[in-house]
Amino acid sequence: SVIADGAATYKQACAACHATGAAGSPKLGDKAAWGPRIAQGNDALYTSAIKGKGAMPPKGGRVDLGDDVIKAAVDYMVSQSK
């Protein structure tokens, strides 16, 4: 499933910062931090994840991953943070 694939990508590429809040990243499951981001819509989140934002490099530094893989990871993080 997309969520399972997203969870695997999250663990590989995203958790280093999004599990700890490193560099100001919103932590997985932090509804207060994610609320305003989720409200912007998934397309905005996808763009931030793919192009990079703030301290996060494009694709969290995993430029070897396809856009669809990154989008699945975003979908997973959103599903865990609503």
- What pLDDT, in 10s, does the model give residues 6-15? 999 999 999 9
| Residue 3: per-residue pLDDT | 73
| Residue 45: per-residue pLDDT | 98
Whether the pTM exceeds 0.75: the reply is yes
What is the rounded distance in angstroms from the CA atom of residue 28 to the CA atom of residue 34? 8
Residue linked to tokens 């990079």: 52
* Residue 72: φ, ψ to 5°: -65, -40
